[in-house]
Amino acid sequence: MIAIRDWGIIDFTEAWDRQRVLAQAVLSGEKPSTLVLCQHPSVITIGRNGSDANIIASQEELKGKGIQVIPINRGGDVTLHNLGQLIGYPIFRLTDFREDLHWFLREIETCIIETIAEYGVIGLHVDRSTGVWVDEGKRKICAIGIHCTRWVTSHGFALNVSNDMSEFELIIPCGISDKGVTSISKEIGTTASIMKVKEICIRKFSKHFA
């Protein structure tokens, strides 16, 4: 069974430091594969394949809003985290499951698709576009980007639940300019409880990675 840890609301850089420590402990066998759930105050991150050209806002505007831009070692491009978004960091030793990153990404997508389905939101995989999409791939509801060293993963997913979607106007999310972004709350027309979404998400991951 995987372990579950809830880090609550935590600054992104602190969470990244804690991920590295946890990943080393999982690699050594000191700790089991662990799903960390948390929220971050507003921050923009740029993955290995990203470019700051996909940040629309000026440095002055970002500074005025108190939003940092942090280059990190996950896959993917530019994304934004803010409160009301459920962050999941599966720090998993894939040797215990399957040494296959493609499989792992699809399993994460499936867990999210099953989570949002409990709200009547139909999510789907889109070929060559990692993440979870709705409305025939027109809007992304969950971004996914991972890092893997010696078959231990870090970083993970960002599921929009009840966050301020207007902040995504500061960037070109995932470097994709012709698609939109959405949240569970936007799709169902009422505020979804992030605590309830977290509970569902834990169930889905515990089932798929048992």
Output 71 or 29, whichever has higher pLDDT.
29
Residue 47 lies in a domain: yes
Q: What is the pLDDT of residue 29?
A: 96
Reported confidence tier of residue 172, pLDDT bands at 50, 70, 90: confident
Nearest-angstrom CA–CA distance, 189 and 2: 33
3-state SS, 37-100, equals EEECCCEEEECCCCCHHHECCCHHHHHHHCCEEEECCCCCCEEEECCCEEEEEEECEHHHCCCC
Domain that holds residue 167: 3-205
Query: Does 195 reside within a domain?
Result: yes
Residue 31: its pLDDT value, please? Answer: 97
What pLDDT, in 10s, does the model give residues 98-125? 999 999 999 999 999 999 999 999 999 9
Q: What is the pTM of this model?
A: 0.95
| pLDDT at residue 169 is higher than 80 | yes
Q: Which residue has the higher pLDDT, 173 or 40?
A: 40
Q: For the domain that residue 126 is a member of, what is the CATH number?
A: 3.30.930.10
Half-sphere exposure in the Cβ direction for 191 (13 Å, CA):
7
Report residue 28 as tokens.
């050594």
**What are the pLDDT digits (tens) for 29-51?**
999 999 999 999 999 999 887 77
Distance (Å, whole) CA 119 – CA 200: 10
Mean pLDDT across the chain: 94
Buried b (16+ CB within 10 A) or exposed e, 144-158: bbbbbeebbbbbbbb
pLDDT band at 191 (very low <50, low <70, confident <90, very high): very high
For the chain, what's the residue count?
210
Q: Is residue 210 part of a domain?
A: no
Instruction: Please report where in the chains the tokens 């995989």 appear, as a residue.
Output: 125
What pLDDT score was predicted for residue 1? 83
- 170 within a domain of the structure (yes/no): yes
Does residue 23 carry a pLDDT above 80? yes
| Model pLDDT, residue 62 | 94
Q: Which of the residues are catalytic? A: 174
* 66 within some domain: yes
The pLDDT score that the predictor gives to residue 73 is: 86
Q: In the chain, how many domains are there?
A: 1
Q: How confident is the model at residue 72 (pLDDT cuts 50, 70, 90)?
A: confident
